[in-house]
């Protein structure tokens, strides 16, 4: 398990690797484009080269892309679903060129139509994305959500239905600890954390988990609210997080912080060290 963080791309994507290195991250995640804009990635040769150089200079840490928030694969509107699929193809192709270890995405909302009703359309668009990016090795990582409104992917059963429907080794899962807690999985105690992992393993299978978003939660258990907190300061707390991150089933999965940070400037060295402590790793100086 590499303990890392989401880092800003202010000044350009090529600025991200050094930022990760500076806070002691062992892996990192970025939004390669503005998460609220459909504008496609401008992945020209010079920006690819600039990133690759900066990435090597900072020690070639494993890195992940987080796709834009506008993606909705479950919407009943065909045009929006197609546009969402195109955005994922774009992320995967650029991720391939930059050696990304995965592209994380939020599956979206059925907008009241119902999960079962929209499931075939979700499976169809994802299958098409995988087919259109045959030449890519980069996996797509479907992230669980906090369960608000009509969002899909609120339970392991819903995620398993999507993963099984697409049935590609390139469609995998990203587990967000704050979302799983807010959607009703009580991971505050070692018993609860182990029970959650048992459920995850029996529905989805640990071998299909590629990444963890390591976050404490400002929101209560089952509140369906998506509010991240610094490690140990939230409603989950260090005991549950420690049991989770020291479980041998998590040993090969990278972890990325998406916490507010002590100075509200995003993940920082303090949170890296708190998470390292949870995972039973030596703290950094």
Q: Which residues of the chain form contacts with Zn ion (CB under 5 A)?
A: 176, 213, 226
DSSP character at residue 109: B
* Maximum C-alpha span of the chain: 52
C-alpha distances in angstroms, 283 versus 22, 204, 229, 230, 244?
Answer: 15, 32, 20, 16, 18
DSSP character at residue 147: -
Nearest distance, CB of residue 276 and Zn ion, angstroms: 19
Distance from C-alpha of 10 to C-alpha of 12, rounded to nearest angstrom: 5
User: Which position's Cβ is nearest Zn ion?
Assistant: 213
Nearest distance, CB of residue 174 and Zn ion, angstroms: 7
Kindly calculate the radius of gyration of the chain based on its CA atoms and give it in whole angstroms. Answer: 18
Q: Which is nearer to Zn ion, 129 or 259 (CB)?
A: 259
Nearest distance, CB of residue 120 and Zn ion, angstroms: 26
Distance from C-alpha of 280 to C-alpha of 67, rounded to nearest angstrom: 31
Nearest distance, CB of residue 213 and Zn ion, angstroms: 3
CB 228 within 8 A of CB 215: yes
Nearest distance, CB of residue 215 and Zn ion, angstroms: 7
Instruction: Looking at 167-217, list the stretches that DSSP marks H as alpha helix, in order from N- to C-terminal side.
Output: 177-182, 190-203
Q: Which is nearer to Zn ion, 14 or 87 (CB)?
A: 87
Lookup: tokens for 254: 């990278």
Q: Which is nearer to Zn ion, 214 or 279 (CB)?
A: 214
Nearest distance, CB of residue 258 and Zn ion, angstroms: 5
DSSP annotation string for 57-92 = HTT---EEEE--TT--SS-S-HHHHHHHHHHHHHHH
Q: Which of 264, 212, 205, 270 is closest to 241 using CA atoms?
A: 212
Q: Which is nearer to Zn ion, 176 or 268 (CB)?
A: 176
Nearest distance, CB of residue 79 and Zn ion, angstroms: 27
Straight-line distance from the first to the last Cα atom of the chain, in angstroms, rounded to the nearest whole number: 19
C-alpha distances in angstroms, 46 versus 12, 13, 19, 162?
Answer: 12, 12, 20, 37
Q: Which is nearer to Zn ion, 226 or 229 (CB)?
A: 226
Q: Which is nearer to Zn ion, 176 or 216 (CB)?
A: 176
Nearest distance, CB of residue 178 and Zn ion, angstroms: 6
Q: Which is nearer to Zn ion, 90 or 176 (CB)?
A: 176
Q: Which is nearer to Zn ion, 43 or 156 (CB)?
A: 156
Strands 3-6 and 254-257: parallel
């Amino acid at each position: 398990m590499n303990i890392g963080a989401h880092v800003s791309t202010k000044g350009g994507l090529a600025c991200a690797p050094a930022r990760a290195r500076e806070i002691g991250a062992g892996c990192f995640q970025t939004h390669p484009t503005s998460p609220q804009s459909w504008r496609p990635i401008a992945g020209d040769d010079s920006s690819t080269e600039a990133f690759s150089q900066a990435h090597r200079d900072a020690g070639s840490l494993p890195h992940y892309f987080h796709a834009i928030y506008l993606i909705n694969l479950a919407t009943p509107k065909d045009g929006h679903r197609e546009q969402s699929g195109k955005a994922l193809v774009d992320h995967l192709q650029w991720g391939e060129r930059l050696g990304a270890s995965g592209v994380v995405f939020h599956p979206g909302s059925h907008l009241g139509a119902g999960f079962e009703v929209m499931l075939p359309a979700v499976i169809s668009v994802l299958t098409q994305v995988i087919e259109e990016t045959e030449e890519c090795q980069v996996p797509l990582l479907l992230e669980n959500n906090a369960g608000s409104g009509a969002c899909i992917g609120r339970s392991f059963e819903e995620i398993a239905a999507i993963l099984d429907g697409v049935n590609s080794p390139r469609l995998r899962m990203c587990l967000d600890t704050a979302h799983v807690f807010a959607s009703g999985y009580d991971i505050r105690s070692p018993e609860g954390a182990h029970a959650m992992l048992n459920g995850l393993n029996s529905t989805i299978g640990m071998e299909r988990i590629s990444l963890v978003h390591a976050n404490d939660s400002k929101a209560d258990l089952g509140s369906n609210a998506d509010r991240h907190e610094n490690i140990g300061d939230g409603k989950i707390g260090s005991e549950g997080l420690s049991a989770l991150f020291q479980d041998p089933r998590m040993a090969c999965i990278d972890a990325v912080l998406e916490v507010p940070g002590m100075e509200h400037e995003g993940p920082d060295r303090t949170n890296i060290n708190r998470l390292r402590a949870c995972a039973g790793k030596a703290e950094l100086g």
